[in-house]
């Protein structure tokens, strides 16, 4: 990374830090309490320049790479994972359109996505498939005027309020994943039914929900990623998201560790300050060590993917699996240090603990990461 690129990335990270402190952290507990996805905060993020991070400057975006974007999401996730991940998905789609879209796709969609006038969503997962991303049963049928889409998508980030849908659909069931293509459609188009948002353990700022398609008619111009490339492009987006999830897990754990240290510093039990108790010291020291290891692995994965290194996919799987596992386990320890007070919304640890569990499912459950890693291991052995 050149000095100019590094300086630009640092400026955006500082912008994200201010935005998180002013527009996310003060409201995250209320979003969760009200089970609300805050569209107004996404629009404010656009005003701060955080909605076109992967779009080149000549197309109106920030022109950052995924490594810089992941560092920004670490800052935002330290305030609220759910909000940060909705930005990951939106930026991922905008960057995808910038890289792979035809001129009419870029002209029609990028200005509104960057300005926050439209919120983007990634529709791959289906109710019957879960983490089996290749199990696409939403059907795209060729018609005289374009395409007809029928099927259902689940676990769509920003599903409750998204405007622009990138729909991965099967054009030829016999071809398996090679028959998958991607289409861009408006969420309010005839034939689209927005399903209710999920009530979850936490993370309601995700606005996670589903869509059902019953005779959605699209023109040929709506075909975004052609047959034969749809699945591979989806996997590239998932690799990018996994690195962002790893960084986000580190952000949550860092915030939880800071909260536990601050709380312990103010408490004294049985005549001794809590910070002087070796049991508490060692619990938080272990959390700090594992945070350093997770951060280093996330940085290695981010640098590899940004550089186009073929090892990036496997490193992203390592980073996502390890960082989310560490975050969940060690945030649980941070909560234990705080006692029952850690359960309350007066502190962010409970929200981050729920976020860490959610992160274990985002862009493939951690067991799916083991599949990616095992294929690399045994492929090398073979």
**8-18: pLDDT as tens digits:** 999 999 999 99
pLDDT at 382: 45
pLDDT tens by residue, 37-55 = 999 999 999 999 999 999 9
| Alpha carbon of residue 22 to chain centroid | 21
pLDDT tens by residue, 90-129 = 999 999 999 999 999 999 999 999 999 999 999 999 998 7
Lowest mean pLDDT segment, chosen from 9-13, 130-134, 172-176 = 130-134
Give the tokens for residue 371: 């599949």
What's the angle, vertex CA 195, arms to CA 252 and CA 366, rounded to 5?
Answer: 35
Tell me what the pLDDT averaged over the chain comes to: 93
**Residue from 334, 239, 250, 329 nearest 284 by CA:** 334
Q: What is the largest distance, in Å, between two alpha-carbon atoms of the chain?
A: 81
pLDDT above 90 for 243: yes
Q: Is 325 left (phi over 0), alpha (psi -120 to 50) or beta?
A: alpha
**Residue from 68, 64, 79, 65 nearest 19 by CA:** 79
Distance (Å, whole) CA 140 – CA 95: 24
**Residue from 1, 131, 19 nearest 73 by CA:** 19
Q: List C-alpha distances in Å: 375 to 48, 241, 331.
A: 41, 20, 31
Number of Cβ within 10 Å of residue 311's Cβ equals 14
DSSP at 373: H
pLDDT at 70: 96
Q: pTM for the whole thing?
A: 0.94
């Amino acid at each position: 990374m050149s000095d100019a690129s590094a300086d630009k990335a640092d400026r955006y990270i500082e912008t994200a830090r201010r935005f998180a402190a002013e527009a996310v952290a003060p409201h995250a507990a209320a979003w969760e309490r009200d089970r609300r996805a805050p569209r107004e905060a996404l629009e404010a993020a656009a005003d701060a320049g955080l909605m076109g991070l992967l779009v080149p400057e000549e197309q109106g975006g920030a022109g950052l790479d995924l490594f810089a974007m992941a560092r920004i999401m670490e800052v935002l996730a330290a305030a609220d994972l759910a909000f940060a991940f909705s930005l990951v998905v939106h930026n991922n789609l905008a960057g995808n359109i910038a890289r792979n879209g035809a001129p009419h796709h870029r002209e029609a969609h990028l200005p509104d996505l960057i300005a926050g006038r439209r919120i983007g969503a990634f529709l791959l997962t289906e109710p019957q498939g879960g983490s089996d991303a290749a199990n696409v049963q939403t059907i795209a049928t060729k018609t005289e005027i374009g395409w007809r889409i029928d099927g259902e998508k689940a676990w769509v980030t920003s599903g409750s309020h998204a405007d622009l849908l990138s729909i991965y659909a099967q054009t030829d069931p016999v071809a398996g994943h090679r028959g998958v293509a991607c289409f861009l459609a408006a969420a309010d188009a005839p034939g689209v039914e927005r399903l209710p948002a999920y009530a979850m353990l936490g993370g309601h700022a995700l606005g996670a929900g589903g869509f059902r398609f019953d005779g959605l008619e699209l023109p040929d111009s709506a075909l975004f990623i052609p047959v034969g490339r749809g699945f591979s492009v989806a996997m590239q987006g998932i690799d990018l998201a996994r690195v962002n999830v790893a960084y986000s897990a580190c952000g949550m754990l860092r915030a939880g560790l800071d909260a536990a240290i601050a709380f312990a510093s103010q408490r004294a039990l049985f005549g001794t300050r809590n910070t002087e108790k070796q049991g508490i010291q060692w619990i938080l020291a272990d959390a700090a060590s594992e945070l350093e290891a997770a951060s280093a692995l996330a940085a290695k994965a981010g640098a590899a993917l940004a550089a186009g290194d073929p090892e990036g996919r496997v490193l992203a799987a390592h980073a996502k699996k390890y960082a989310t596992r560490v975050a969940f386990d060690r945030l649980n320890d941070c909560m234990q240090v705080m006692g029952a007070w850690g359960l309350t919304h007066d502190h962010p640890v409970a929200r981050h603990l729920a976020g860490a569990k959610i992160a274990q499912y985002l862009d493939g459950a951690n067991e799916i990461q083991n599949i990616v890693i095992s294929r690399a291991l045994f492929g090398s052995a073979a």
